[in-house]
Chain A
Amino acid sequence: MTSDSTFEQIRKFFDIIGALSLFTHRFFMNVLKPPYEIKEVAKHMYELGVKTFPIVSVTGVIIGVVLTLQSLPIMIKFGAEAFLPYMVTLSVIRELGPVLTALIFAGRVSSGIGAELGSMRVTEQIDAMEVSAIDPFRFLVVTRVIATTMILPLLTVYVNFLAIGGGFFASYISMGTTYDLYMSQVIEVVKFGDIIPGIGKTVVFGFIVGITGSFLGYNADKGTEGVGKASTTSVVYSSLLILIFDMILVQVTLWLWPAS
């Protein structure tokens, strides 16, 4: 196999984004139509939760600890160490919690969905559904995308908690910050409504992970190679799209909440 030129790769990227947009359109044409596959959605949510719980737990604590230890010397230098809890909480809630959780979620879940649907495509399970008069798009894709969209915000809230906990732990060890002092600053941040845009964008990220994995799996090439490709490409595309949308959404947030 020859490796593509940069130009060729860029063209391919936009081809996929174009087809992905159509796929997304198809999702919205189907999502509101009954019957709703509530049982399937619940099953997928549970599976996704179980699958990602350990890794996001570890990530959450580490975000808080590392952020605190990294920032401490700088804050001390500016004589602002009293604001450390404020800064850590703000970074976690606004940016690090949502984006890092989403990227980890993308790595774990989008590849899983890509592989799962890819192998269903390759072994003709999707065709089998179709000839049984069951709409595979609704049953397989719509349910998964709803599940990822709903579960990622929940995971992010959980990660935020752990990260703030990790931040407290690190400040307590290094500076002896008391719980009351730390919490009073955390509450300040939460009060200012920074939590809504932070969690809000994870709805978009969750959607991206679900739709990208589904799209690449659903349209996988025949052959076992197609499954592997669907799986790895899903991670690349969903991570990239998460970062691009993060950039866009940060701008939108700044328009909507200029004061904070």
Chain B
Amino acid sequence: MARKLVEVKDVYKSFGDQPVLSGVSLDVTETQNLVIFGKSGTGKSVLLKCMVGLLTPDKGTIFINGIDVLNIPLKEMNELRKNIGFLFQGAALYDSMSVRENLAFPLIRNFNFTPKEVTQKVERALDMVSLSHAIDKMPSELSGGMRKRVGLARSIITEPMLMLYDEPTTGLDPITTKEISKLIRDLQQELKMTSIAVTHDLICAQIIADRVIVLNDGIILFEGDLDTLTSLDDPFLKNFFSPEYLEDNYG
């Protein structure tokens, strides 16, 4: 049986008196893509942030690659983080740096590449997201979708073993959505990358998901494969993927 790269057990997190996660458990097998669905505000981003130590759960355990991430010193956490890529929902590009510098930053800081290798890697990563022409632009000169793609390029440039995507295709047109989704799938197949992707996008999920879970009100409502999910008779889940819902929310 394949190894589990991510194991989340019974995680609780609340902000003040507002509970956000109320006992979430999931695992991701090595080289699998897990897709997380859920309404806005159910704690999908919070869950991802707990995995990389940006937020600390109130209760529960999280293991990544066999390491107990909630109980290791910062130094070891940082070693682990070098092997994890994180795409923020809002891309989180460094405003003061050009696109090139944004991409080169993690490479220069954490690895010993020569300047030539860095340039090559930056150019290749940008090529993957079809943004070679934007290499010397500043983030403020990019459109929302372009920022997202630069953020994606920056997070995969170090070829991490685990990628966490927070809405990788939101705000992109259908054609680009397909391209990016295929890119995510190719990364998984070629680099044996494991990933967790939060998305609302059925097109994206259809391309990348090996398995999906639905998060609602802090608990996991469904776990299984996408076809099962879309053919279920549950009124909530049906509603979630109905054309009207998609239209209302992402029209």
User: How distant is the Cα of A131 from the Cα of B158 in the complex, in angstroms?
Assistant: 13
Which of B86-94, B186-194, B210-218, B232-240 lies on the face that meets chain A? B86-94
Residues of B with C-beta under 8 A to A224: none
Cβ-defined contact, B110 with A132, below 8 A: yes
Which A123-148 residues have a C-beta within 8 angstroms of B?
123-125, 127-134
Closest B residue to A132 using CB positions: B106
Chain B residues near A132 (CB, 8 Å)? 81-82, 105-106, 109-110
- Within the complex, the shortest CB–CB distance from B115 to chain A, in Å, comes to 14
B46-100 at interface with A (beta carbon < 8 Å) = 49, 52-54, 78-79, 81-82, 84, 86, 88, 90, 92-96
Q: Is the interface of A mostly helix, strand, loop or mixed?
A: helix
CB-CB < 8 A to B105: which residues of A?
132, 134
Partner of B94, one of A128, A130, A131, A133: A128
Residues of A within 8 Å of B106, CB to CB, are 132-134
Q: How far is the CB of B84 from chain A (nearest CB, A)?
A: 7
Q: Least Cβ distance of B122 to chain A in Å?
A: 15
Residue A133 contacts which of B78, B95, B96 (CB distance < 8 angstroms)?
Answer: B78
How many Å lie between the Cα of A124 and that of B90 in the bound state? Answer: 8
Residues of A within 8 A of B53 (CB): 130-131
Residue A87 interfacial (CB < 8 Å) = no
Interface residue A89 (Cβ < 8 Å from any Cβ of B): no
Q: Sort chain B's interface into a size bin.
A: 20 to 34
User: For the complex, is A68 an interface residue (Cβ under 8 Å from B)?
Assistant: no
A241 at the interface (CB under 8 A from B): no
- In the complex, are the beta carbons of A127 and B95 less than 8 A apart? no
A90 to B88, CA, bound (A): 56
CB nearest to A116 among chain B residues: B96
> Interface residue count for A (Cβ, 8 Å)?
14
Q: Are A128 and B86 in contact (CB under 8 A)?
A: yes
Q: In the complex the two chains form, what is the Cα distance from A127 to B87 in whole Å?
A: 11
* B94→A125 contact, CB < 8 A: yes
> Provided the pairs A132-B109, A133-B110, A134-B106 are in contact, do residues A127 and B79 lie with their beta carbons within 8 angstroms?
no
Give the shortest distance, in Å, between A29 (CB) and chain B (any CB): 13
CA gap between A127 and B230 in the complex, in Å:
35
User: Provided the pairs A127-B88, A128-B86 are in contact, do residues A134 and B110 lie with their beta carbons within 8 angstroms?
Assistant: yes
Judge whether A125 and B92 touch: CB under 8 Å. yes
Instruction: Say which residue of A116, A128, A133, A134 sits within 8 Å of B92 (CB atoms).
Output: A128
Partner among B79, B84, B86, B90 whose Cβ is within 8 Å of the Cβ of A123? B90
Task: Kindly supply a per-residue 1/0 record for chain A positions 108-131, scoring 1 wherever the CB is within 8 Å of any chain B CB and 0 otherwise.
Answer: 000000001001100111011111
Known: A131-B54, A132-B105. A124 touches B88 (CB 8 A): yes
Chain A positions within 8 Å of B94 at CB level: 120, 125, 128-129
The 8 nearest A-B residue pairs measured at CB:
A133-B78, A128-B92, A124-B92, A133-B81, A132-B106, A131-B86, A131-B52, A133-B82
Further 12 A-B residue pairs, CB within 8 A, beyond A132-B106, A134-B110: A125-B92, A127-B49, A127-B54, A128-B86, A129-B94, A130-B81, A133-B81, A133-B106, A133-B109, A133-B110, A134-B105, A134-B109
